Amino acid sequence: MAEGYALALQDGLVAALRADPGVSALVDKRVYDEPPKAVTRPFICLGGIEPRPLRTSGRRAADVVFSIEAHSRPQAAGRVEATRIAASIVAALDEQESAVTVAGYTLIRLQWMGQTVARDSDGESYSAIIAFEALIDG
Protein backbone atom coordinates (compact mmCIF):
# COMPACT_ATOMS: atom_id res chain seq x y z
CA MET A 1 0.00 0.00 0.00
CA ALA A 2 3.01 2.29 0.10
CA GLU A 3 2.37 3.66 -3.39
CA GLY A 4 -1.10 4.94 -2.58
CA TYR A 5 -4.36 4.61 -4.42
CA ALA A 6 -3.43 6.71 -7.45
CA LEU A 7 -0.17 4.99 -8.36
CA ALA A 8 -1.50 1.50 -7.69
CA LEU A 9 -4.52 2.21 -9.91
CA GLN A 10 -2.34 3.79 -12.59
CA ASP A 11 -0.15 0.68 -12.82
CA GLY A 12 -3.20 -1.57 -13.02
CA LEU A 13 -4.88 0.51 -15.72
CA VAL A 14 -1.82 0.58 -17.99
CA ALA A 15 -1.36 -3.19 -17.63
CA ALA A 16 -5.05 -3.94 -18.24
CA LEU A 17 -5.28 -1.75 -21.34
CA ARG A 18 -2.07 -3.19 -22.82
CA ALA A 19 -3.41 -6.71 -22.24
CA ASP A 20 -6.85 -6.09 -23.75
CA PRO A 21 -7.14 -7.47 -27.32
CA GLY A 22 -9.69 -4.86 -28.41
CA VAL A 23 -7.46 -1.99 -27.29
CA SER A 24 -4.31 -3.63 -28.71
CA ALA A 25 -5.97 -4.06 -32.10
CA LEU A 26 -6.24 -0.26 -32.34
CA VAL A 27 -3.11 1.06 -30.59
CA ASP A 28 -0.85 -2.01 -30.25
CA LYS A 29 0.98 -1.61 -26.90
CA ARG A 30 1.09 2.21 -27.06
CA VAL A 31 -0.53 2.80 -23.67
CA TYR A 32 1.44 5.19 -21.46
CA ASP A 33 1.45 7.05 -18.19
CA GLU A 34 3.58 9.68 -19.97
CA PRO A 35 4.03 9.18 -23.72
CA PRO A 36 7.51 9.55 -25.22
CA LYS A 37 8.25 12.73 -27.18
CA ALA A 38 8.29 11.03 -30.59
CA VAL A 39 5.23 8.88 -29.98
CA THR A 40 3.46 7.16 -32.86
CA ARG A 41 -0.26 7.82 -33.12
CA PRO A 42 -2.71 6.48 -32.27
CA PHE A 43 -1.87 6.06 -28.60
CA ILE A 44 -3.46 6.12 -25.16
CA CYS A 45 -2.23 7.91 -22.06
CA LEU A 46 -3.57 8.47 -18.60
CA GLY A 47 -5.11 11.81 -17.75
CA GLY A 48 -5.83 13.12 -14.29
CA ILE A 49 -6.23 10.78 -11.31
CA GLU A 50 -8.04 12.26 -8.33
CA PRO A 51 -8.43 10.08 -5.21
CA ARG A 52 -10.82 11.19 -2.48
CA PRO A 53 -10.64 9.46 0.90
CA LEU A 54 -13.60 7.58 2.33
CA ARG A 55 -13.59 6.58 5.99
CA THR A 56 -16.36 4.45 7.42
CA SER A 57 -16.42 2.02 10.33
CA GLY A 58 -12.70 2.41 10.90
CA ARG A 59 -11.83 1.29 7.36
CA ARG A 60 -10.03 3.24 4.69
CA ALA A 61 -11.10 3.43 1.08
CA ALA A 62 -10.98 5.91 -1.77
CA ASP A 63 -13.30 7.11 -4.46
CA VAL A 64 -11.03 7.80 -7.44
CA VAL A 65 -12.10 9.83 -10.44
CA PHE A 66 -9.75 9.51 -13.40
CA SER A 67 -9.53 10.01 -17.13
CA ILE A 68 -7.90 8.18 -19.99
CA GLU A 69 -6.96 9.98 -23.20
CA ALA A 70 -6.93 8.52 -26.71
CA HIS A 71 -4.91 10.49 -29.27
CA SER A 72 -5.32 10.05 -33.01
CA ARG A 73 -4.16 11.70 -36.21
CA PRO A 74 -6.00 9.77 -38.89
CA GLN A 75 -5.42 10.34 -42.57
CA ALA A 76 -9.06 10.31 -43.64
CA ALA A 77 -11.23 8.99 -40.80
CA GLY A 78 -11.64 12.24 -38.85
CA ARG A 79 -12.81 11.67 -35.33
CA VAL A 80 -13.81 8.08 -36.09
CA GLU A 81 -10.49 6.56 -34.99
CA ALA A 82 -10.45 8.41 -31.64
CA THR A 83 -14.07 7.40 -31.04
CA ARG A 84 -13.31 3.74 -31.79
CA ILE A 85 -10.36 3.79 -29.39
CA ALA A 86 -12.56 5.37 -26.73
CA ALA A 87 -15.15 2.62 -27.21
CA SER A 88 -12.46 -0.06 -26.83
CA ILE A 89 -11.29 1.55 -23.57
CA VAL A 90 -14.85 1.58 -22.22
CA ALA A 91 -15.35 -2.06 -23.22
CA ALA A 92 -12.08 -3.03 -21.51
CA LEU A 93 -12.74 -1.21 -18.23
CA ASP A 94 -16.42 -0.43 -17.56
CA GLU A 95 -17.61 -2.78 -14.80
CA GLN A 96 -14.56 -4.98 -15.48
CA GLU A 97 -13.09 -4.86 -11.97
CA SER A 98 -11.43 -8.25 -12.35
CA ALA A 99 -9.43 -6.97 -15.36
CA VAL A 100 -7.55 -4.36 -13.29
CA THR A 101 -5.13 -5.34 -10.54
CA VAL A 102 -4.64 -2.61 -7.94
CA ALA A 103 -1.67 -3.96 -5.97
CA GLY A 104 -2.21 -3.80 -2.21
CA TYR A 105 -5.87 -2.86 -2.53
CA THR A 106 -9.22 -4.27 -3.62
CA LEU A 107 -10.96 -2.68 -6.59
CA ILE A 108 -14.63 -2.70 -5.62
CA ARG A 109 -16.20 -0.77 -8.48
CA LEU A 110 -15.02 0.58 -11.86
CA GLN A 111 -17.53 2.61 -13.89
CA TRP A 112 -17.49 4.67 -17.06
CA MET A 113 -18.86 8.17 -16.46
CA GLY A 114 -18.72 9.75 -19.92
CA GLN A 115 -16.47 10.92 -22.71
CA THR A 116 -15.77 13.66 -25.18
CA VAL A 117 -14.06 13.58 -28.57
CA ALA A 118 -12.75 16.83 -30.04
CA ARG A 119 -10.32 18.18 -32.60
CA ASP A 120 -6.96 19.18 -31.13
CA SER A 121 -5.58 22.70 -31.44
CA ASP A 122 -3.26 21.60 -34.29
CA GLY A 123 -6.36 21.22 -36.50
CA GLU A 124 -5.31 17.73 -37.63
CA SER A 125 -5.50 15.50 -34.59
CA TYR A 126 -8.35 14.30 -32.40
CA SER A 127 -8.43 13.41 -28.73
CA ALA A 128 -10.98 11.46 -26.76
CA ILE A 129 -11.14 11.96 -23.02
CA ILE A 130 -12.90 9.14 -21.23
CA ALA A 131 -13.92 9.63 -17.57
CA PHE A 132 -14.20 6.83 -15.01
CA GLU A 133 -14.84 6.41 -11.32
CA ALA A 134 -13.33 3.68 -9.15
CA LEU A 135 -14.00 2.62 -5.58
CA ILE A 136 -10.88 1.13 -3.98
CA ASP A 137 -10.82 -0.53 -0.58
CA GLY A 138 -7.77 -0.83 1.63
Q: Which domain holds residue 125?
A: 4-137
Q: Are 35 and 43 in contact (CB under 8 A)?
A: yes
Mean pLDDT, the chain, whole residue set: 93
Q: Given this model, what pLDDT does residue 1 score?
A: 46
Q: Are 18 and 24 in contact (CB under 8 A)?
A: yes
Q: Given this model, what pLDDT does residue 16 score?
A: 98
Quick check: 138 pLDDT over 90?
no
Task: Give how many domains the chain has, as a whole number.
Answer: 1
Residues of the chain with pLDDT > 90, as a percent, come to: 84
Q: 127: domain CATH number? A: 3.30.2000.30
Q: Given this model, what pLDDT does residue 2 score?
A: 52
Q: Given this model, what pLDDT does residue 77 score?
A: 75
Query: How large is the average pLDDT for residues 113-120?
Result: 96
Q: How far apart are CA 20 and CA 79, in angstroms?
A: 22
Instruction: Summarize pLDDT for 31-83 with one digit per residue, the tens.
Output: 999 999 999 999 999 999 999 999 877 788 999 999 999 999 876 677 899 99
Task: Label each residue of the chain as H, E or C.
Answer: CCCHHHHHHHHHHHHHHHHCHHHHHHHCCCEECCCCCCCCCCEEEEEEEEEEEEEECCEEEEEEEEEEEEEECCCCCCCHHHHHHHHHHHHHHCCCHHHCCCCCCEEEEEEEEEEEEEECCCCCCEEEEEEEEEEEEC
More confident residue, 134 or 77: 134
The model's pTM: 0.93
